[in-house]
């Protein structure tokens, strides 16, 4: 056992320290302070995050009181109990944290699994999550979070989706991902699964936020989907320790991340009692735009979406309703008369080649075929993708121009 993680009695009372040298009664306080310095900040954060019945709000208050996770773990019980909402039981859990957490083992296992741990001080930590009242202390990330993921739309809905809901989700998510937005959802059955799959089909990015630890991926049948996402098309993310199973508390906690991370929330299909409505209400509280796909008035599966629309959510039957409402795309296409149009970032090769031709002058499909050498079907598909991105628009006679 690593000698850093032992509990020894201090003559001034029970005090948890890391043994890095023999403790003497001549300088107990100095030894404790010196010993704690051997715990890395990441180890302390991971240990604090693993502890049961603490939660992000209490952790935030503790950090405000003590400054860092290492100081929290080394604090006496009486000092812990001076912090708002930290009672005797919670203080005891923190004070005896070695009985609950092994951060060295946790970190070692994340490395073995190819998972990174992102803390609030890391540049990869999503900026919108910093702004909420109860931000995750850290995130376990399987895959990679990229700067472009700040342009994201959350797509949520029922686990028991109908054919109508699934098809609407696939269509809208494909178009949004094709336009450059990262699709965020919860990897659940039904609407979430359809949203992730459509984003991948569009060669776009998607983030799956779990209500469990990454080693307890739920639902298990979506493991293959998670692997595809993590393999270069986005990230699978959780705030929970690796082996945390899903429960009735973890899913609402997951929902707040889905709601806070994105620029807008699209609810495709849900009944009147649904976690998706909780996500939408949280998003509204966070100042996000809320969109909803209407459904048949006699179908309970769409009652939640219809209620959202009555309450002021924007009705969506076409992706343009979202793009027009947001009045933006993930990159700036506008240019002044005096400024040349800047090169667009991260367009796939075919789209970049076709867009360069249309940007040069209005062009027909035949013009593009002749100048690129691409087959006509390939050109038509690429022009459609550029339309979805709202970079070009059609003209009479099957010609295309810049928007």
Return the domain boundaries, the chain.
Answer: 6-104, 115-326, 349-402
Q: What is the pLDDT along the chain (403 residues), one digit of tens a residue?
A: 444 444 333 333 443 434 333 333 333 333 334 335 578 999 999 999 999 989 999 999 999 999 999 999 999 999 999 999 999 999 999 999 999 999 999 999 999 999 999 999 999 999 999 999 999 999 999 999 999 999 999 999 999 999 999 999 999 999 999 888 999 999 999 999 999 999 999 999 999 999 999 999 999 999 999 999 999 899 999 999 999 999 999 999 999 999 999 999 999 999 998 889 999 999 999 999 999 999 999 999 999 999 999 999 999 998 889 988 886 555 443 333 333 444 555 688 888 898 888 888 888 888 888 899 998 888 888 888 887 777 887 776 678 888 7
* Residue 309 contacts residue 282 (beta carbons within 8 Å): no
- Give ∠ CA 90-256-238 in degrees, rounded to 5: 75
Q: What is the pLDDT of residue 25?
A: 33
Tokens 């715990």 appear where?
39
* Residue among 353, 397, 342 nearest 379 (CA): 353
* Residue among 159, 157, 194 nearest 177 (CA): 194
User: Which CATH topology does 6-104 take?
Assistant: DNA polymerase; domain 1 (1.10.150)
Q: What is the pLDDT of residue 221?
A: 96
The distance between the two most distant Cα atoms of the chain, rounded to a whole number of Å, is: 92
Q: Candidates 3.50.50.60, 1.10.8.60, 3.40.50.150, 3.40.50.450; correct CATH number of 115-326? A: 3.40.50.450
Number of other residues whose CB lies within 10 A of the CB of residue 133: 11
* Dist. CA 230–CA 203, nearest whole Å: 13
- Give ∠ CA 81-86-88 in degrees, rounded to 5: 65
* Residue 390 contacts residue 396 (beta carbons within 8 Å): no
* Dist. CA 83–CA 89, nearest whole Å: 13
* Dist. CA 344–CA 357, nearest whole Å: 14
* Residue 145 contacts residue 126 (beta carbons within 8 Å): yes
* Dist. CA 182–CA 148, nearest whole Å: 8
Structure tokens at 284: 């509204």
Q: What is the pLDDT of residue 19?
A: 35
Partners of 143 in beta bridges:
235
Structure tokens at 167: 């098809």
User: Which CATH topology does 349-402 take?
Assistant: Arc Repressor Mutant, subunit A (1.10.10)
Structure tokens at 17: 């320290």
Euclidean distance between the first and final Cα of the chain, in Å? 65
Number of other residues whose CB lies within 10 A of the CB of residue 187: 27
What element of type H or E holds 352? helix 349-360
Q: Strand, helix or coil at 319?
A: helix
* Residue among 53, 55, 42, 40 nearest 110 (CA): 42
What element of type H or E holds 70? helix 69-73
* Dist. CA 74–CA 399, nearest whole Å: 70
């Amino acid at each position: 056992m690593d000698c850093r993680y032992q509990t020894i009695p201090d003559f001034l009372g029970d005090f948890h320290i890391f043994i890095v040298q023999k403790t003497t009664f001549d300088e107990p306080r100095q030894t404790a302070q010196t010993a704690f310095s051997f715990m890395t900040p990441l180890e302390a954060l991971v240990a604090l995050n693993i502890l049961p019945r603490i939660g992000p709000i209490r952790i935030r208050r503790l950090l405000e009181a003590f400054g860092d996770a290492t100081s929290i773990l080394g604090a006496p019980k009486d000092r812990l109990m001076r912090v708002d909402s930290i009672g005797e039981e919670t203080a005891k859990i923190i004070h005896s944290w070695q009985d609950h957490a092994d951060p060295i083992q946790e970190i070692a296992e994340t490395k073995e699994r190819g998972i990174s741990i992102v803390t609030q001080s890391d540049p990869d930590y999503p900026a919108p999550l910093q702004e909420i009242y109860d931000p995750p202390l850290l995130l376990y990330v399987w895959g990679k979070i990229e700067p472009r993921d700040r342009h994201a739309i959350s797509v949520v809905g029922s686990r028991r989706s109908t054919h109508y809901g699934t098809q609407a989700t696939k269509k809208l998510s494909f178009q949004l991902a094709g336009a450059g937005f990262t699709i965020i959802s919860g990897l659940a059955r039904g609407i979430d699964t359809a949203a992730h799959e459509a984003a991948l089909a569009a060669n776009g990015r998607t983030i799956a936020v779990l209500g469990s630890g990454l080693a307890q991926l739920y639902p298990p049948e979506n493991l293959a989907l998670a692997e595809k996402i993590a393999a270069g098309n986005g990230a699978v993310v959780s705030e929970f320790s690796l082996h945390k199973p899903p429960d009735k508390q973890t899913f609402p906690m997951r929902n707040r991340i889905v709601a806070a991370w994105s620029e807008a929330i699209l609810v495709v299909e849900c009944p009147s009692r649904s976690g998706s409505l909780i996500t939408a209400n949280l998003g509204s509280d966070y100042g996000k735009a809320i969109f909803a796909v209407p459904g048949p008035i006699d179908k309970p599966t769409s009652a939640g979406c219809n209620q959202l629309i009555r309450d002021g959510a924007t009705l969506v039957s076409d992706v343009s309703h979202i793009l027009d409402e947001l009045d933006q795309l993930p990159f700036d296409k506008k240019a002044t008369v005096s400024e040349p149009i800047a090169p667009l970032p991260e367009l796939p090769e075919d789209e970049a080649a076709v867009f360069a031709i249309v940007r040069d002058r209005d062009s027909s499909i035949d013009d593009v075929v002749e100048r690129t050498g691409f087959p006509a079907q390939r050109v038509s598909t690429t022009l459609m993708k550029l339309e979805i991105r709202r970079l070009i628009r059609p003209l009479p006679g099957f010609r295309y121009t810049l928007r």
